[in-house]
Structure formats: structure tokens, C-alpha cells
Amino acid sequence: MATVSPTPLLKDELDIVIPTIRNLDFLEMWRPFFQPYHLIIVQDGDPSKTIKVPEGFDYELYNRNDINRVLGPKASCISFKDSACRCFGYMVSKKKYIYTIDDDCFVAKDPSGKDINALEQHIKNLLCPSTPFFFNTLYEPYRDGADFVRGYPFSLREGVPTAVSHGLWLNIPDYDAPTQLVKPLERNTRYVDAIMTIPKGTLFPMCGMNLAFNRELIGPAMYFGLMGDGQPIGRYDDMWAGWCTKVICDHLGLGVKTGLPYIWHSKASNPFVNLQKEYKGIYWQEELIPFFQSVTLPKDCTTVQKCYIEISKQVKAKLGKVDDYFNKLADAMVTWIEAWDELNPSPSGIKPAELPNGATK
């Protein structure tokens, strides 16, 4: 039912994770919305460079040296010279929720001209249930002014806990390199005023530019893979995390939403550079998608970590023959979980994925 109470700030329960190699000037524009929160900045690239953080923000910053120090040999699972390194931020966070945003993403305006508080919308999305078992044609039923449509069984109207809130982007759309090359001038100007749950059993391309998730529910699945320096592929970090995450969410009965909020994506990366990073991914994904579509997880995989390790085994068994990269990736997935568990020991007797969701709507 429509709720009149304001969205809680959750300022002590949410960390904002930002990967960066350049500077954080973009935070100035976000200041009204981000200042109450703790930031975890993961510095990609040359660790000797100093990243200037605007005054007044509470943050911790990690560069490659810090990552090596914290993880030791396990640091091998964290990508070097790629924004995939952001997942280190998820691992070291102690908060329940994570919001991650790219440093070329700014505050967008809604059709009425009002600035969009993206973080507030993500929090709303995460705090209210998802509905993965039956599609609601009026989209998010818990929104003001909406509801479940005729024919929607009442037994499914409570929904399930939301693990992921996937936001979108106005201006520069998140296209792959070939599409960018063909349509360099296309801009996303369509504001689609909807949030929806991605149905169970359906995969999607998860973009890490404007993403929030419940770290307690799904954190260990948000490994952004091996990308960048020394790796044969780039720009598939968030895709990889998204496919693993969706398979696990479907298995554990958690929800993934997409749609609002929008941010304004200002910078188009170089399509030729992108093509070089992506090209293996473009043909590998033809194998990856059928793989993820057919992954089944045994019933005894009751935690995210167990699910993730199981997926890593299947990656090795079925994708290792596509390219040796996947053997390395499978190993890195295991290393990631080991590192995660070391940095995030669970209280005895309580499995992380089975912790209650806390505040509901």
C-alpha cells in the first residue's frame, strides 16, 4: 500500500563505493545527497598518484598497495587497472547496503526538471519487496499510485526481499563498442518512469555505473571478476557479477529490480579502446549466456558463498574449455570468497544469506 513516511536515510547502514583513477570532482554535484554517507574510494591505476577528495566527505581510500596489504596473496583476485577493482570496496565495507557509482555520473533531472536523488530511490527500491514470480503489468506494485493488477494472485503479493537495485542512465547510454561505433551520437533521452522486478529465470546485463545492493543478502556474489591489466578482457566485470548474482538470487528467492533511478552519464569512453577490451567478451558471451541460463544449483547451496563456489566449479568444468581465462577466473572466484569470509566472519550459527532483511516498507 502507498506509504506516506519519508524514505529513511540509512546513513549508518550504507556505504558508497566509488572506483576512480582521475579525480572526484563529480562528488561536488552529489554533495546534497551523498554528504551524510561514508564513502569507500577504490583507487584504480597508479598508486603513487594522489586522489583529491572534496572537503567535507567522510571516506576511506584504498589504492593498489592497500589492497595488497589487506589481502596479501589473495589480492590476485582483485583486478588491476580496471574499475572492476571496486568490488574490493564491497568486501571491506562493514555496512548492510552498498551503492556504487562511476565518477563520470552526475545528478540527472526528471521530466519536471527536478534533480533526482538517485540514492534515495535506490534505498526505496531495496527496502521494498520484489515480485519475481509473476510479472506485474503496472510494474512496481508498491509504488505510490500503483498496485498489483487484476489476476495477480494475492499469495504472491508480499513479494520477496530485494537484493539488487539496478539504476539506469540518461545521456550517454551503456552500449557496447560496436553499437557505439555505429551510433556515436545516440543519446538516451527517454525517461521511463518505472521500476520493475526482473522475473525469476531471466538474465540481464547488469551495469555497475549506478547500482545498489543489500550486501548482507548478496554481497559475496558481487565479484567483478578478472579484468584489465594482464587480462584478456575488459568491460565485462559488471556483466559477470550480474549473471552470477541473478542466478544466485533466483536460487535463493531474492529479487533484482531495474529501472529508476536515472543518473546523467556524461562521458563516452573511446569506442576503439572499448572494442579492444570487449571483443573477446562479445564472442565469449555467446557461450556464457547459455551457460548461465542452464546453471542449476543444488538444494544444499543455502548461502551465497556456497552458491558462488558451486558456480565457480561449473565455470571451470564447462567454460574452461572455451578459454583458459575461465580456469583462472574460477580460481579467482574461490579466492574472492575466501577473502570475503576472512574479512567478514559471520557470527557463529548465522549464515550470511539467511540474516533477516531488516526494515521492510
Partner 1 sequence: MSVAIKDDEIDIVIGAVRSDLTSFLNEWRPMFSRFHLIIVKDPDLKEELKIPEGFNLDVYEKPYMDRVVGSSTSVLFSGYACRYFGYLVSRKKYIISIDDDCLPARDPKGFVVDAVSHHITNLTTPATPFFFNTLYDPFAEGSDFVRGYPFSLRSGVKCALSCGLWLNLGDYDAPTQALKAKQRNSRYVDAVMTVPAGSLVPISGINIAFDREVLGPALVPALKLAGEGKFRWETMEDIWSGLCVKVVCDHLGLGVKTGLPYVWRTDRGDPIASLKKEWEGVKLMEEVVPFFQSVRLPREATTVEDCVVEVANAAKERLGSTDPVFARAAKAMLDWVNLWKSVGYISSSSSAV
Task: Please report which helix (H) or strand (E) contains residue 39, including its range.
Answer: strand 38-43
- Decide: helix, strand or coil at residue 14: strand
Q: Closest CB to partner 1 among 19 and 352?
A: 19
Closest to partner 1 by CB, 190 or 299: 190
- DSSP assignment string, 69-105: HHHGGGGGGS-BSSGGGGHHHHHH--SSEEEEE-TTE
Q: Are 145 and 2 in contact (CB under 8 A)?
A: yes
Query: Residue 174, interface with partner 1 (CB under 8 A)?
Result: yes
Which residue number, 130 or 305, has a Cβ lying nearer to partner 1?
Answer: 130
What is the sign of the dihedral through the CA atoms of 274, 279, 283 and 289? Answer: negative
Q: Does 235 bind partner 1 (CB under 8 A)?
A: yes
Nearest approach, Cβ of 13 to partner 1 (angstroms)? Answer: 27
What are the residue ranges of helices labelled H in 102-222? Answer: 118-127, 177-182, 215-218
170 binds partner 1 (CB under 8 A): no
Check: CB of residue 165 under 8 Å from CB of residue 212: yes
Nearer to partner 1, 203 or 355 (CB): 203
In the complex, minimum distance from the CB of residue 141 to partner 1, in angstroms, rounded to a whole number: 10
Q: Which is nearer to partner 1, 194 or 359 (CB)?
A: 194
Positions in 201-230 near partner 1 (CB under 8 A): 201-207
Say whether 262 sits in a helix, a strand or coil. Answer: strand
- Single out the residue of 121, 90, 117, 118 nearest to residue 19, CA to CA: 90
192 vs 273, beta carbon nearer partner 1: 192
Among 55, 190, 347, 349, indicate the residue that binds partner 1 (CB under 8 A).
190
186 binds partner 1 (CB under 8 A): yes
Question: Which of positions 69-108 make contact with partner 1 (CB under 8 A)?
Answer: none
Q: Which amino acid is at 204?
A: F
Q: Is 286 in the site for partner 1 (CB under 8 A)?
A: yes
Cell (9 digits) for 321: 574449455
User: Interface with partner 1 includes 21 (CB under 8 A)?
Assistant: no
Q: Which residue has the cell 539488487?
A: 164
* Local structure of 332: helix, strand or coil: helix
Per-residue binding letters, 139-158, with partner 1 (x by CB under 8 A): x---x-xxxxxxxxxxxx--
Q: Is 320 in the site for partner 1 (CB under 8 A)?
A: no
Specify which residues 115 forms β-bridges with. Answer: 109
The residues binding partner 1 (CB under 8 A) are: 1-2, 111, 133-139, 143, 145-156, 166, 168, 173-176, 179, 183, 186-194, 198-207, 235-236, 238-239, 242, 258, 278, 282, 285-286, 289
